[in-house]
Amino acid sequence: MSTDDGADGRRALLERLVLPWRTVPAVVYDRHLTIRIVNDLARALHRTFRPGANLARSAFLPSGDGARAGSSVDPAGTTPVGARLAAELRRSLDEHHQDRGYVELIGELAARSAAFAQFWAEPDGAEPSGVVGFALHGTGRVVLAYHRFSVPGPDGDTLLLWHGADDTSTGRLAALARSLHD
């Protein structure tokens, strides 16, 4: 439960909006990069995309089985996903008041991940749009363009949407979507 007035109502509205989408992967995460809402197609893209999962922890820290979430692939010529996540966390911290959640998250990541510490120290901006690759089981690699949208309200929620960045990826994403609902 959120402690911010109206957060639960806003998130309930967002759920009603994005959960029925069958052809557009969608995730809503909070100011600490913790996933709050995820639709079926986003779940199928990457095992990290689950309510309660933290995007930064999943990228930089090993899971209980000793592995990182994996399966994302940085397309050639793009900023590494880890650098983008560190920049997104820094952007969120700049926009919202520092709280215990930030202190604990950043402290944990800096202490346990040299890669995070390096990316955190670099002055790189988080762009609201970009591309990221995913390795899909049985389907091959897809390159998806993403767009981030700030959700109005004091919670710092962000809506993250993807679409195919090229014809092949668009086709593979469509095939994945069909397979979920056949």
Cβ neighbors of 27 (< 8 A, separation 6 or more) are 35, 37, 38, 39, 42, 49, 159, 160
Describe the crossing of helices 114-121 and 81-95 by its angle, rounded to 10 degrees: 60
**Least confident span in 58-67, 113-122, 152-161:** 58-67
pLDDT at 71: 54
Longest C-alpha distance within the chain, in Å?
Answer: 46
CB 102 within 8 A of CB 32: yes
pTM above 0.85, yes or no: yes
% of the chain residues with pLDDT over 90: 59
- Beginning with the edge strand found earlier in the chain, give each strand of the sheet holding 26-29 in spatial order: 35-38, 26-29, 158-164, 140-150, 129-136, 72-73
% of the chain residues with pLDDT over 70: 88
- The 10s digit of each residue's pLDDT in 17-73 is 999 999 999 999 999 999 999 999 999 999 899 999 999 999 999 864 434 444 566
Going from N- to C-terminal start, the domains of the chain cover: 7-61+71-141+155-181
pLDDT at 72: 64
Residue 123 reports pLDDT greater than 50: yes
Residue 5 reports pLDDT greater than 70: no
pLDDT at 77: 65
pLDDT at 73: 65
Q: Which two tokens stand for residue 61?
A: 């820290």
Residue 2 reports pLDDT greater than 50: no
